[in-house]
Amino acid sequence: MFACEALVRGPNGESAYSVLSQVDDANKYQFDQHCRQIAIASAAALGLDAFLSINFMPNAVYKPEVCIRSTLDAARTHGFPIERIIFETVEGEHLTDRSHLVDIFRTYKQFGFLTAIDDFGAGYSGLSLLVDFQPDIIKLDMGLLRGIDTDGVRQRVVRGVLSICQDLGIRVVAEGIETKGERDFFIAHGVTLMQGYFFAKPGFKSIPTVDASAYLT
């Protein structure tokens, strides 16, 4: 296992939508900070020995070098190495100032965190964003890879993205893998990092058990 992604759920396992629908401009900062701290504390308590991937809300970060302090404190308090934390953001999130996102990413890298763009290909600014900043990882949107083993157009688009990422030294995660055919396409194209129900379903307050046979059959 390369990494675990921390997903938002309610205290009794309620859906992410039910939680996120209550987030507004007034509480966005506290929500974002609290999620980070809970994710780190939970990963440490569960003995996670892989990378921890945390989604963050760029619009909730007013000054990256200040907003990261509580995250650093949480990592120190719980003994979780900061070099094993990945901060990822959704490519399609509405940003009034993209340079702000680039500044956040650069600041986080300076502190030793890894950076990732989630749902790459779902928004409209993916390639132009890569011109301004090259994250450590991009996670391909599942809409790009659904049924890719039988879809020539998707194959051509994804091959192009993989070529760009290879040239830029960016690792690729294929997320949303649900079938053997989808998995086999990415294996054939040198992608070793994959995520999706084909391997494991999300766990609630637990580390999911990954079906090792899903990598072998």
User: Which stretches does DSSP call E strand in 75-141?
Assistant: 85-90, 114-120, 137-140
Rounded Cα distance between 158 and 152, Å, is 10
pLDDT tens-digit map of 110-162: 999 999 999 898 765 678 889 999 999 999 999 999 999 999 999 999 999 99
Q: What is the CATH number of domain 3-215?
A: 3.20.20.450
Domain segments of the chain as ranges: 3-215
Higher pLDDT, 123 or 195: 195
Could you tell me the pLDDT band of residue 48, with boundaries at 50, 70 and 90? very high
- pLDDT tops 80 at residue 80: yes
**Closest residue by Cα to residue 75 from 86, 63, 85, 89:** 85
pTM for the model: 0.91
